Structure 1
Amino acid sequence: MFDTGVEPYQTLNMGAFEIVLLPCLADNYSVLLHDPASSETAAIDAPHAATIRAALDARNWRLNHLFITHHHTDHTAGIAELKGHYGSSVTGPEAEADRIPGLTRGVTEATRLEFAGHPIRALETPGHTLGHVTYYMPEDGLVFTGDTLFSLGCGRIFEGDPRMMWTSISKIAALPGDTRIYCGHEYTLGNARFAMNVEPENDALKARVAEVQALRAAGEPTVPTTLDLEKATNPFLRPDSRMIRARLGLGGAPDWEVFARLRQLKNKA
């Protein structure tokens, strides 16, 4: 369990930005993006206002923007306090505008977005919720997937259906392989156990599981990950795997049906 009073993981200098992966609540992540050139700062999701404020204050950063992926409370609970304190803009899915408090801009895939002059694409990725969006920064090779795609896993399907979720995940899978993925939760160790059950022959997965176990034993995060790594190890991105299909008895099924069966099994794990 995360301690919201601890210092967040180390600030990383990634291209134009300083990035802070910020543990919140039991297992959530928020991500702070800071552009030194403009002094602009953004947060992806707002699980816990006090944790985010403490990290900002420690760096003398002011929160200009909040980018919200979906309406669930563990991603939105801090919006009111953060917006009230900093006057931050709040961007989130237009389809969930009535369920996200304090929203100042609703977005769809047609919306033109940027942060500190860097373009952002809002990908509509419904399934976990019907309005979920993923934020992709093409010039910076960053994607913030919320609860759609996790390291070695994917989100539960609460409001959509498996085919919808597979379509959403496929959008993320189509991004460049070196894209760095920041997701909304630290679920990788639990996801690793399920992945090994469905594809134990996968050598890349074995190596990733060993890495994940070592990171968590040292109290370190398992994200960001990369799309190439997830395609090699994450069963929810691998419905074309012959071994997975054989284990599920779905040799000739379309990819989305294999994905649906994997999600059904993970729900029971």
Structure 2
Amino acid sequence: MPVELVTIPCLSDNYAFLLREEDSGRVALIDAPESGPIIAELEARGWTLDEILLTHHHPDHIDGVPDLVAKYGAKVTGASADAHRLPPLDQAVADGDTILFGGTVAHVLDVSGHTVGHIAFHFFDDNIVFSADSLMALGCGRLFEGDAAMMWTTMQKFIAMPDQTVVCSGHEYTSSNAAFALTIEPDNAALQTRVAAIKAARDKGAFTVPSLLSDEKATNPFLRAHLPELQKAIGMEGADAAEVFREVRTRKDNF
């Protein structure tokens, strides 16, 4: 079924997303950094809010939930593994579960690393994945709770998705991520082209999120730890991909 995707900037650099399933008219929100901009967007479009899907427990992804539930009576879905530190859930889900949303379906993926219990929502038929702070535009989330091996397992789940997948991540960090990516693969022509496009977009005040997974596969160092060209670029040819990922993540932490 056709869906409509709306990106909403929140706080200083967060994104929330509205997804409307056109046949049923049902509207879902993915993450709720704050309520004000989300309510304003819903009212401008004449929409109500049926569901809230939460990716992880950090305050900048859940603080808007109480206001939105109070105003719209939306049902809240989140990870069962994270339920003890999320707002009250109407539906607790885990890796491998599916969520029926109007005439379309979301597949739930465990994408732990940034936090343990972080989930993504993959609308496979619609080619959209809500990755929040796991896979990000030209980056990945800092490893606050998980480790590099865990996050590399997560990255492989995104690598396996179709190239045309639209990646809806949680923050406008793309410019700083791009500057770091150039330190890893300075000779990557696709990366050079993308960095120029990012600068042009930001100079105009445009969003760089969502991004296309094909672009992430070609330019995001955190999705490329298994590739000989990246391994060669950092002097780790033939190394285990998880160890290459660990090195790239360590360099980013110190960037």
Please give the range of the TM-score, normalised by the shorter of the 2 chains: over 0.9
Please report how far the alpha carbon of residue 110 of structure 1 lies from its aligned counterpart in structure 2 after TM superposition. 3.4
Equivalences for residues 216-231 of structure 1 within 5 A: 216-231=202-217
Q: Residue 29 of structure 2 aligns with which residue?
A: 43
| Deviations 1:15-56, CA, capped at 9 Å, x for gaps | 712221000001000001112322211111000111111110
- State the alpha-carbon separation in 1 of the partners of residues 226 and 4 from structure 2: 37
Q: Residue 96 of structure 2 aligns with which residue?
A: 110
Equivalences for residues 101-250 of structure 1 within 5 A: 101-250=87-236
Q: Residue 82 of structure 2 aligns with which residue?
A: 96
Please report how far the alpha carbon of residue 243 of structure 1 lies from its aligned counterpart in structure 2 after TM superposition. 4.2
CA contact (8 A) 1:79 1:102 kept: no
Find the residue that maps to 2:100 and give its secondary structure: strand
If asked which structure has higher relative contact order (CA below 8 Å, sep 6+), I would say 2
Find the residue that maps to 1:164 and give its secondary structure: helix
**Which amino acid in 2 is paired with 1:154?**
C
- State the alpha-carbon separation in 1 of the partners of residues 28 and 244 from structure 2: 37
CA contact (8 A) 2:23 2:103 kept: no
Calculate the aligned-residue CA RMSD, in Å: 1.1
Q: Residue 56 of structure 1 aligns with which residue?
A: 42
CA contact (8 A) 2:79 2:117 kept: yes
Q: Return 5+ residue gaps in structure 1 as ranges.
A: 1-14
Equivalences for residues 19-30 of structure 1 within 5 A: 19-30=5-16
- State the alpha-carbon separation in 1 of the partners of residues 95 and 227 from structure 2: 30
Count of aligned positions: 255
- State the alpha-carbon separation in 2 of the partners of residues 139 and 249 from structure 1: 39
CA contact (8 A) 2:96 2:109 kept: no
Q: 1:77 aligns with which of 50, 57, 63?
A: 63
- State the alpha-carbon separation in 2 of the partners of residues 171 and 245 from structure 1: 20
**Which amino acid in 2 is paired with 1:120?**
A
Find the residue that maps to 1:156 and give its secondary structure: coil
- State the alpha-carbon separation in 2 of the partners of residues 168 and 144 from structure 1: 13
- State the alpha-carbon separation in 1 of the partners of residues 170 and 118 from structure 2: 12
- State the alpha-carbon separation in 2 of the partners of residues 191 and 38 from structure 1: 38
Q: 1:31 aligns with which of 13, 17, 24?
A: 17
Q: Residue 7 of structure 1 aligns with which residue?
A: none
CA contact (8 A) 2:21 2:103 kept: no
Structure 1 segments (4+ residues) deviating >6 Å: none
| Deviations 1:113-139, CA, capped at 9 Å, x for gaps | 121120110001111110000100111
CA contact (8 A) 1:80 1:102 kept: no
CA contact (8 A) 2:228 2:238 kept: no
Q: Residue 261 of structure 1 aligns with which residue?
A: 247
Find the residue that maps to 1:252 and give its secondary structure: coil
| Deviations 1:82-115, CA, capped at 9 Å, x for gaps | 0111100101111000100122111112323121
TM-score by length of 2: 0.97
CA contact (8 A) 2:128 2:166 kept: yes
Please report how far the alpha carbon of residue 246 of structure 1 lies from its aligned counterpart in structure 2 after TM superposition. 3.0
Give the fraction of aligned pairs with identical amino acids, expressed as a percent. Answer: 44
Find the residue that maps to 1:75 and give its secondary structure: helix
CA contact (8 A) 1:70 1:132 kept: yes
